[in-house]
């Protein structure tokens, strides 16, 4: 990926985290800063990187650049609750994704049913298909919620479905994990990744990502269990949901996106263990505390920007002389 696009995505991801903290300054929730927080990271930055990875070349194609522009328009209009433009650009966004998906794979996902197709390729195909379907479903929910209500379900709300844009990023990260395993051993099992995968720098970041994924699973299960207890109060568990959100977006999903951005550069000149430690401290400690203390929010944002800069702009090391730890 070219330097200017790495810088663009770094800025977008840092701004996304900043919007996540702005909710503290708007306790009445007059503005949906959470939407910008989610859209900028998942849809605008993350899904654009996914499309970039799905096409050949080291730069963004005209189609991918158009997707980025339209996704920013989508995010801004959804934030301002102006839904007509969102519905207008959705077919164009879906068309771009489907054009790339069909060109890379096929119109009908027959790969899902073939044993000869690598699991990594199936996850990649599923990520693109999930993105198309997610945008279509979100459009239908907008119509149902804002224009003509056909279905009345409490959980059928826009913010819930907007979270769905993180699923394609999770699927593409799984694709990267299986790709390393398949290249090294031919086995298909993510629980065997630590022992069977190649001893690569990318693998260290993906193992870290799997740690974030485990914590995301645990926090999600704990929240569901507590929801059924007597005296349940969602406001008292807000900290748990924030931890869940940060580990999912800025932990698990970010590991895959960072590897895609530097896909052709590995190994790169950085201390993997120290960089990963900075990532964990930012996501698990600074970011959740930043939701309650503005000073820590600023520190978390700076630490996050430093982490992204190190990962995205460290120089390639063609002779693999990286020192671990």
Mean pLDDT, the chain, integer: 83
CA torsion, ordered 48, 49, 53, 58, to nearest 10 deg: 100
What pLDDT does 226 receive? 81
Asked if the model's pLDDT at residue 102 lies above 90, the reply is: yes
The backbone torsions φ and ψ at residue 268, rounded to the nearest 5 degrees and listed phi first, read -120, 155
Lowest mean pLDDT segment, chosen from 26-40, 53-67, 87-101:
26-40
Lowest mean pLDDT segment, chosen from 198-207, 241-250, 254-263:
198-207
Residue 294 to residue 281: CA distance in whole angstroms: 17
Asked if the model's pLDDT at residue 196 lies above 70, the reply is: no
Name the burial class of residue 230, with classes exposed (0-12), middle (13-18) and buried (19+) by CB atoms within 10 angstroms of its CB: exposed
Asked if the model's pLDDT at residue 97 lies above 80, the reply is: yes
What pLDDT does 88 receive? 93
Which long-range CB contacts under 8 A does 229-232 form with residues at least 24 apart? none
Confirm if 257 and 12 have CB atoms less than 8 A apart. no
What pLDDT does 123 receive? 92
Could you tell me which residue, 258 or 148, shows the higher pLDDT?
258
What pLDDT does 22 receive? 80
Domains of the chain by residue range = 32-188, 199-325
**Distances in Å between the alpha carbon of 142 and those of 70, 86, 90, 120, 280?**
17, 9, 11, 33, 36
| pLDDT 10s digits, 157-191 | 666 666 778 889 999 998 988 887 766 555 544 47
Mean pLDDT of 58-64: 88
Residue 270 to residue 120: CA distance in whole angstroms: 27
Confirm if 46 and 169 have CB atoms less than 8 A apart. yes
| pLDDT 10s digits, 283-323 | 999 988 888 888 999 999 999 999 999 988 888 765 443 44
| pLDDT 10s digits, 105-118 | 988 888 888 888 88
What pLDDT does 323 receive? 42
| pLDDT 10s digits, 123-163 | 999 999 999 999 998 888 888 877 777 777 666 666 666 67
Cβ neighbours for 305, distance < 8 A, ≥ 6 positions apart: 10, 14
Mean pLDDT of 48-74: 91
Confirm if 45 and 257 have CB atoms less than 8 A apart. yes
Token pair recorded at residue 244: 């869940």
Asked if the model's pLDDT at residue 33 lies above 90, the reply is: no
Longest distance between any two alpha carbons in the chain, whole Å? 61
DSSP run (H or E) holding 55: none
Residue 222 to residue 239: CA distance in whole angstroms: 12
Residue 199: which pLDDT band, with cuts at 50, 70 and 90?
A: low
pTM for the whole structure: 0.85
Confirm if 18 and 301 have CB atoms less than 8 A apart. yes
What pLDDT does 193 receive? 60
What pLDDT does 198 receive? 58
What pLDDT does 324 receive? 40
Token pair recorded at residue 55: 């096409």
Whole-number percent of the chain with pLDDT over 90: 30
Cβ neighbours for 323, distance < 8 A, ≥ 6 positions apart: 271
């Amino acid at each position: 990926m070219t330097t200017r696009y790495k810088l663009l995505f770094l800025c977008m991801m840092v701004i996304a985290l900043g919007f996540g903290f702005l909710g503290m300054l708007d306790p009445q929730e007059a503005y949906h800063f959470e939407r910008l927080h989610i859209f900028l990271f998942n849809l605008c930055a993350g899904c654009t990187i996914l499309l970039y990875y799905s096409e050949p070349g080291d730069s963004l194609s005209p189609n991918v650049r158009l997707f980025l522009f339209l996704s920013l328009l989508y995010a801004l209009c959804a934030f301002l609750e102006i839904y007509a433009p969102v519905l207008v650009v959705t077919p164009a966004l879906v068309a771009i994704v489907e054009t790339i998906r069909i060109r890379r794979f096929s119109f009908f996902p027959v790969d899902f049913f073939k044993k000869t197709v690598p699991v990594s390729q199936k996850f990649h195909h599923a990520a693109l298909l999930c993105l198309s379907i997610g945008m279509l479903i979100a459009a239908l929910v907008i119509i149902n919620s804002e224009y003509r209500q056909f279905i009345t379900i409490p959980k059928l709300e826009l913010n819930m479905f907007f979270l769905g844009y993180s699923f394609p990023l999770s699927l593409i990260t799984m694709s990267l994990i299986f790709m390393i395993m398949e290249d090294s051993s031919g086995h298909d099992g993510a629980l065997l990744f630590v022992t069977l995968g190649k001893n690569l720098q990318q693998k260290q970041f993906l193992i870290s990502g799997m740690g974030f994924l485990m914590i995301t699973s645990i926090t999600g299960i704990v929240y569901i269990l507590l929801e059924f207890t007597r005296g349940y109060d969602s406001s008292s568990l807000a900290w748990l949901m924030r931890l869940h959100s940060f580990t999912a977006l800025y932990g698990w999903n970010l590991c895959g996106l960072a590897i895609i951005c530097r896909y052709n550069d590995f190994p790169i000149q950085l201390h993997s263990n120290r960089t990963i430690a900075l990532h964990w401290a930012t996501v698990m400690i600074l970011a959740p505390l930043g939701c309650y203390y503005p000073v820590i929010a600023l520190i978390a944002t700076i630490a996050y920007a430093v982490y992204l800069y190190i990962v995205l702009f460290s120089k390639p090391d063609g002779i693999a002389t990286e020192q671990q730890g």
